Amino acid sequence: MAGALRRLAGTQSCSQYLLLIAVALAIFGSCYLKPGIQKLRSTLSGPSTVVRKMHSLQIIKLWQLVYPQPDVLTPSRGDVLVVTPWLAPIIWEGTFNTKILDHQFRLQNATIGLTVFALGSDVSCLRVFLETAEMFFMANHRVNYYIFTDRPDSVPDVSLQPGRRTVVLEVPGLAGGQNASTQRMQLLSAFSRERFQREVRYLVCADVSSKFSNHVGVEILSSLFAALHPGYLGRSRKSFQYERRPQSQAHIPKGQGDFYYTGSFFGGSVLEVYRLTRACHEAMALDRANHVEAVRRAESHLNKYLLAHKPTKVLSPEYTWDARMLERCGEAQAQVLSKITKQIKFTTWREKDQTPE
């Protein structure tokens, strides 16, 4: 009997404890959950953006454009390589639909920056460069032309499309040779970090001694893009003018290399252009301190960087053409180049050697 009473007393005691705990939780819960008392310190614990904005969702009308159905059994180009071994597309004329790309790009509401150096006598090339860019470069998209020059008063006044502007960036005249190449990479790196990242989403870096000859649009844009040098098309990498001396930071050992990229046309997101130009500037500065000059200066360092940091898009030689090259190369190579080139887009027009010996 006594044992039964003790068990009963224990049961009543446990019940009382449980009752007290339940009351405490009820009081705590009512206070904690009362509006105005609970303060969220992080939006991560709140409702998702989708849920919060559900009441303001609008019906999006399907964009209407009639175009041929893509067929995986019918390649757009069967005469050239259209994708790299690391699955980056190689952009050739005939492999994309401009209207589709333009529509998708407008959804980003982005501005593109085009940088060019017009120093010393090169300022005379600016008018052709800008006027042809207005005709063919990123038509109907917002563009900032960033002109690095030591002669700001000589920058021509070119009529621009709506949404475009010219930004003149006055810089001191650069010394010749490797110093000039180093300083250009330094300026691109510094302005990417300090200014360009606030004003544009993509940067395209081009040579002022060239002109736009046909449509160059958003098909080229990617995180990091580079253009194939037309002078090395179809050649073995043994003939590439990589820097082969181990003393240089641009050194690429024999037996290595993907393509040979030109230094006259490259770009990508502002962040990736900053990383590329900073790395090239630092490598060139180290070479200079060691009294070494890469065989193709900045272009050699560009190729070294792109070997380790693969571009996410590769542009065909149609984007960096030199018409005189056909006169210098052999007849067989000239026929191949003429056959696969559907549309010349960006052309060297001033006397400048871009063809390997």
Residue 70 tokens, joined: 């893509």
Cα angle value 151/157/158 (rounded, 5°): 125
Q: Return d(Cα 195, Cα 270) in angstroms, integer.
A: 10
- Across-strand partners of 347? 211, 321
- Across-strand partners of 346? 212
Q: Which of 93, 243, 293, 299 is catalytic?
A: 299
For residues 284 and 240, the answer to whether their CB atoms sit within 8 Å is no
- Three-class secondary structure of residue 117 per DSSP: strand
- Across-strand partners of 147? 116, 168
DSSP result, 127-149: HHHHHHHHHHBSTTSEEEEEEEE
Q: How many CB atoms lie within 10 A of CB 237?
A: 15
Q: Return d(Cα 224, Cα 111) in angstroms, integer.
A: 16
- Helical segments of the chain, H only: 2-32, 49-52, 98-106, 126-136, 178-191, 197-199, 270-289, 298-308, 325-328, 331-340
Q: Return d(Cα 263, Cα 260) in angstroms, integer.
A: 10
For residues 293 and 177, the answer to whether their CB atoms sit within 8 Å is yes
For residues 91 and 317, the answer to whether their CB atoms sit within 8 Å is no
For residues 153 and 147, the answer to whether their CB atoms sit within 8 Å is no
Whether 272 is a known active-site residue: answer no
Q: Return d(Cα 145, Cα 204) in angstroms, integer.
A: 10
Q: Return d(Cα 13, Cα 218) in angstroms, integer.
A: 77
Which residues are catalytic, by number?
299
